Structure 1
Amino acid sequence: MKDKSNSNPNALMVRQKMQLAMSSFRDKLGVHEFNPRDFEIVNLKVEIPDLDPAFNDYRIAHISDIHLGQWISAKRIDGVVNMVNKLEPDLIAITGDSVSYVVNEPVLDMLRILKNLKPKDATVAVLGNHDHWVGAKEIRNVMDESNIIELENDVYTLKRGDATLHIAGVDSITLEKDDLDAVLNKLPSSGPAILLAHEPDFADVSSATGRFSLQLSGHSHGGQMVIPWLGTPFRGSQFRKYPLGEYKVGEMVQYTNRGLGTNVFWIRINCPPEITILRLQST
């Protein structure tokens, strides 16, 4: 079912005003400095069936839900980019919601900082619901300028000699822009495949195809609050089943990144912003 939470122009306008007011207040207080201790680097090994040894220990840096212009300021995203580069990833994957409720030149200038990402192979991305709500065209233009490969129901293939590894992406499920059939039609019949999907609960659909070994998602922010031994009490549309961390869905691994930024409320409890480093393992 389509998410209509921001289909009302008046509701969107209210949230835009809130974001601009909060950002202005933050700037006046000077509380927009980058601190690397605010961000957790999560290391995860994932076994990929039929992964050619040429891709063994392949390193993917996964970031999501940047929500530029809210808690994530220009200094913070610049610091995150430097953190990611120091991890020397082979590939960088961005799984949506780079913005929140405002797409203006200051926000687009922050988005342009992502051009400084330096993976060995490529930076790939999908869009999220917020990106579509406020400015998919502008975001795609900046990504194109920044050499970020946006996978709009598409496939990007990595090669090591004769070995291949496919990175696929579906557009926003929330806004019914996903087309998994188109992805499967473009996906070669051989070689393991990884799927980027902003919304984690799509794992039930993607895993049923039997074609993907791993899905990378965001969307949930990990609920922004985690209660020890209980997990997150805050779950919503498209992140009720897989709100944070690693899951096994059928034969596929689902990983839900907690995101870098926050949405309306700039607070996290036991749920720090996350940069994930996934190391692919041959079986």
Structure 2
Amino acid sequence: MKNRKRDKPKSIVQKAMNTTRNRLNKGKFDKDSFEVVPLIIETDKIDEEFDGYKLVHITDIHMGQWINKERLEGVIEIINNLKADTIVITGDYVSYQIDSHLGDLEYCLKKLKANDAILSVLGNHDYWTNPDAIKSLLKKSNIINLENEIYTINRNNKKLQIAGIDCVTEGKDDINQIEEKLDPDFPAIMLVHEPDFADTTCQLKPFILQLSGHSHGGQISVPHIRTPIRGKNFRKYPSGAYKVEEMVQYTNRGIGTNLFWFRINCPPEITEITIKKVD
């Protein structure tokens, strides 16, 4: 696990920036700051029972940075108005501080509403702070955290499998556990914080889609270049949709930011995914 002493200066910077924001009253929610991105996944692997199935995906909240309680409450209102069958969250709930933000995070997450389930995986920052506290918070918020596990939604003896890989950055991932539990006769969706894991996920044929975060879309998007800022585990698939073998990899830009609170042509994102059956 990462040496938390290294992050002490970043924690100090985070605290100073939060204090300044609060004094300047710059933490107001603005609905227009967030983009709801529609994504349609067309596949012949889905059964009629799941034709039109809707997932809403968010990632990289980084509570206590640019995202505060007021902004997160606003985001959750947007999500609930989308009326998702399942809500999925792909990690990094916090950054370098945790204890002072757990209460607000739990208060907001408990307001999420979905028809079937709310599912999550953890990200690297969750492990760098206090993974046990995050897991406890998720459980109290009625969010099912998947650690190399599969959550199955059943309709009329048909299945939609939603798998969750634990944090790749911290070496917690185990694709073998997923493969052992996977029903090859029904489609699957992978949740994993790090998008470049798509090269592994696509080797398992039931997977039609992988949903990830981690990159924040680079926080800067340049015309024709798209995402100039890339890093570990988001070099190949830093933002948006990619075809990887027979699977779609989708990398959400995240709703929060990490240490630097700026975005250029790269607004925070809520992804609205609809699965469509094709012959």
Q: TM-score, normalised by structure 2?
A: 0.97
Residue 113 of structure 1, CA deviation: 1.1
Matches of 1:22 and 1:185, distance apart in 2: 46
Residue 135 of structure 1: how far off its partner (Å): 1.0
* In 2, Cα distance between equivalents of 1:78 and 1:26: 18
Contact 1:112 1:142 in 2 (8 A): no
**Contact persistence 1:74–1:110 (CA under 8 A):** yes
**Cα contact 1:126–1:169 (8 A) shared by 2:** yes
- Unaligned runs of 5+ residues in structure 2 are none
Match of 2:266 in 1: 271
Distance 1:160 1:45 in 2: 21
**C-alpha RMSD of the superposition:** 1.1
Deviates more, 1:118-127 or 1:185-194: 185-194
> Structure 2 matches for 1:150-165, cutoff 5 A?
150-165=145-160
Kept in 2: contact 1:51–1:192 (CA 8 A): yes
- Per-residue CA distance 1:26-74 (angstroms, 9 max, x = gap): 1111111111000000001001332111111111000000000000000
- 1:76 Cα deviation from its structure 2 partner: 0.3
Number of residue-to-residue matches in the alignment = 278
Letter in 2 for 1:23: N
Alignment partner, residue 33 of structure 1: 28
Q: Which runs of 5+ in 1 are unaligned?
A: none
Listed one character per residue, the Cα deviations across residues 187-245 of structure 1 (whole Å, up to 9, x for unaligned) are: 22321000001000000111122231100000000000000121111000000000000
User: 1:14 matched to which residue of 2?
Assistant: 9
Q: Distance in 1 between matches of 2:150 and 2:128?
A: 24
Q: How does 1:2-81 map to 2 (within 5 A)?
A: 7-81=2-76
Partner of 1:90: 85
Separation (CA, whole Å) in 1 of partners of 2:148 and 2:45: 24
State the partner residue of 1:103. 98
Q: What amino acid maps onto 1:223 in structure 2?
A: G
Is the CA contact (8 Å cut-off) linking 2:63 and 2:101 kept in structure 1? no
Pick from 257, 260, 269: which aligns with 2:255? 260
Separation (CA, whole Å) in 1 of partners of 2:79 and 2:56: 7
What amino acid is aligned across from residue 10 of structure 2 in structure 1?
A: R
Residues 156-212 of structure 1, C-alpha deviations (whole Å, 9 max, x = no match) = 000111111000000000000001100111122321000001000000111122231
SS in 2 for 1:93: strand
Q: Give the aligned residue type for 2:152.
A: T
Deviation at 1:109, TM superposition (A): 2.5
**Is 2:158 the counterpart of 1:126?**
no
In percent, how many aligned pairs have the same letter? 48
Question: What residue number does 2:111 align with?
Answer: 116
**2:53, 2:85 within 8 Å by CA — same for their partners in 1?**
yes
Q: Residue 264 of structure 1 aligns to a residue in which SS?
A: coil
Higher mean alpha-carbon deviation, 159-168 vs 215-224, is at 159-168
What is the correspondence of 1:216-255 to structure 2 with a 5 Å cutoff? 216-255=211-250
Contact kept, 8 Å, 1:19 with 1:101, in 2: the verdict is yes
Q: Describe the shift of the 1:9–1:149 C-alpha distance in structure 2 as closer, same or farther (beyond 3 A).
A: closer
Between 133-142 and 46-55, report the one with greater CA deviation. Answer: 46-55
Residues 98 and 111, structure 1, Cα contact 8 Å, conserved in 2: no
Alpha-carbon separation, structure 2, partners of 1:89 and 1:264: 31
Correspondence for 2:199: 204
Q: 2-side partners of 1:109 and 1:140: how far apart?
A: 15
* 8 Å Cα contact 2:4/2:128 also seen in 1: no
Greater than 4 Å deviation, 4+ residue runs: none
Letter of the aligned partner of 1:189 in structure 2?
A: P
Report deviation, 1:272. Answer: 0.0
What is the distance in 2 between the residues matched to 1:209 and 1:56? 22
User: Tell me, what secondary structure is at the counterpart of 1:202?
Assistant: helix
Contact conserved, 2:89 with 2:120, CA < 8 A, in 1?
yes
